[in-house]
Structure 1
Amino acid sequence: MAPQKLNPSSSTPLYKQVYTILKSRIANGELKPGDKIPTENELIQEYGVSRITIRAAISELVEDRVLERAQGKGTFVCKPKDAYQADDSHGFTQSCYLSGKIPKTTLLTLEYVLPSPKVQSFLQLRDGEPTLLSRRLRFADNEPILIESNYYAPCLSFLEKEDLSGSLFNILHQHGYSIVTQARSLDVCTANKEEAALLNVKRGSPLLLFTDYQLDGEGKPLFFSKQVYCTERLKFYI
């Protein structure tokens, strides 16, 4: 494909024209996610502009997360992030299917623990009463996406004997429970050593933390949920 030409007489700065052309080459599939883009020298020769112009265009594409730099390797086209509804009304499994992804879940731990005061209050537990806690690693197309920690009300103790490697929403629906989100909050955190290893990111990488208070159809507490999402592989829409 013949390279698109720049227009030196245009009011649009040359770096912005290079930016637009490279973005167009990505959009039309000439450059695909994961592809290494031409070197600075190759782009200088292709478009007949200065190194400063090329670097400005690439820097803006990196800032817009269209491209990403790999130290000592070059600059690559970013893989598109999966999009999920921020209200999580479908649950993770169904959200994956709606996005054309294949979900998978690994149960990390399932045990009884003493809850924090906040969890105890929401689940209406007595002082010293333990709660069932499940920790699960969720995948989309074999990419680790989130770590989920659920603290269950006593009425859900039967989950101890259920297969939690699939959809929790489906299990609860099969037992006659409807799920209503009383409140959902969003915070930003950074990956600790364990989270970094499970999500295959660097320690200290930014993560999204969702906290959910889930009720049944009668307004009784079902479970308290904390979900830590990898920001490198997905985005949310509202």
Structure 2
Amino acid sequence: MKLSYQVGQKPLWSQLYDILEMRILSGEYKEGDTLPSEVAIMQEFDVSRITVRQAMDKLIQAQLISRQRGKGTVVLKYKNKVTTAFQSSFQEVKEKNQLKDRQVIAVESVKAPSEVAYFFDIPTSDSVIKLTRQTFINEEVVACYETYLHPLVPLTVQDDFKGSLYTKLEIASYPITNVMEKISAALISTQEKKIFSIEQDEAVMHRIRMGYSHDLAIEYTYATYLARGYELIIDLK
């Protein structure tokens, strides 16, 4: 597997870190496992030793791995159970009884984007369901979501996706049993300005949610929130 050298992509070490982190958090590399050698990782991803070491150093800082004499690089126990939630505070919605609504914008069959194909462990030539939804407050778009479902999930573009997606997955015998999330902040892009129908620069929050049904990766959601109207709550247990 090769990393992306396209302009605008993350540095190679950061891309490599993301992949190795996903393998650890998803359980592909389990506690106590020894990671492949630097040379093996260099060959798998076609990168330099410096790139591998930068990614490894970041994993050590995140307390996901440890270099142990005589054993190599070992996966550590992932200690914290983290619960996250985005809570809307747009103009005190509840207090002012404003209309908050999540709408299904589109349901379509598309070729799996590279990051989705990698997460699902399927070829990019495979088709997946893409569900596009938006949250409105008084007809203003405040959040948008793009969700991809694994081809094994017995749902079609003709199904009604109103209401809870997770309830629908549970009924389809693919309940979400655990998730992994990655959250970041950024300045709104030109494309996102079109989605939110705004012209000014402002901050947005990006949230990637990867859902598993037991050991099978079945849901990949990329969400964008207007930062001025949401707060992130993290519960560490």
- TM-score of the aligned structures, taking structure 1 as reference length: 0.52
May I ask how many residue pairs the two structures share in their alignment? 146
1:235 paired with 2:231, answer yes
Give the match for residue 25 of structure 2. Answer: none
In the alignment, the residues of structure 2 paired with residue 232 and residue 174 of structure 1 have an alpha-carbon distance, to the nearest angstrom, of 36
Give the match for residue 134 of structure 1. Answer: 131
Give the match for residue 219 of structure 1. Answer: 215
From 173, 193, 198, give the equivalent of 1:196: 193
In the alignment, the residues of structure 2 paired with residue 225 and residue 86 of structure 1 have an alpha-carbon distance, to the nearest angstrom, of 17
Structure 1, gaps ≥5 residues long: 1-84, 90-95
Residue 163 of structure 2 aligns to a residue in which SS?
A: coil
- For the Cα contact (< 8 Å) 1:149–1:227, is it kept in 2? yes
Structure 2, gaps ≥5 residues long: 1-81, 87-92
> What letter matches 1:111 in structure 2?
E
> What letter matches 1:232 in structure 2?
R
Q: CA deviation at 1:102?
A: 6.1
In the alignment, the residues of structure 1 paired with residue 155 and residue 140 of structure 2 have an alpha-carbon distance, to the nearest angstrom, of 30
- For the Cα contact (< 8 Å) 2:131–2:147, is it kept in 1? yes
Q: Which segments of structure 1 move beyond 6 Å, counting only runs of 4 or more?
A: none
Give the match for residue 80 of structure 1. Answer: none
Give the match for residue 111 of structure 2. Answer: 114
In the alignment, the residues of structure 2 paired with residue 88 and residue 219 of structure 1 have an alpha-carbon distance, to the nearest angstrom, of 23
Residue 161 of structure 1 aligns to a residue in which SS?
A: coil
- For the Cα contact (< 8 Å) 2:153–2:172, is it kept in 1? no
> What letter matches 1:226 in structure 2?
Y
Please report the RMSD computed on the Cα atoms of aligned residues, expressed in angstroms. Answer: 3.1
Residue 170 of structure 1 aligns to a residue in which SS?
A: helix
In the alignment, the residues of structure 2 paired with residue 88 and residue 154 of structure 1 have an alpha-carbon distance, to the nearest angstrom, of 27
In the alignment, the residues of structure 2 paired with residue 135 and residue 195 of structure 1 have an alpha-carbon distance, to the nearest angstrom, of 14
From 182, 185, 195, give the equivalent of 2:182: 185
- Post-superposition Cα deviations, 1:85-117, rounded to whole Å, max 9, x if no partner, equal 96249xxxxxx99xx986522222322222233
- Post-superposition Cα deviations, 1:27-85, rounded to whole Å, max 9, x if no partner, equal xxxxxxxxxxxxxxxxxxxxxxxxxxxxxxxxxxxxxxxxxxxxxxxxxxxxxxxxxx9
Residues 166, 186 of structure 1: alpha-carbon distance in 2 compared, 3 angstrom cutoff = same
- TM-score of the aligned structures, taking structure 2 as reference length: 0.52
Residue 196 of structure 1 aligns to a residue in which SS?
A: helix
> Percentage identity across aligned positions?
13
1:208 paired with 2:205, answer yes
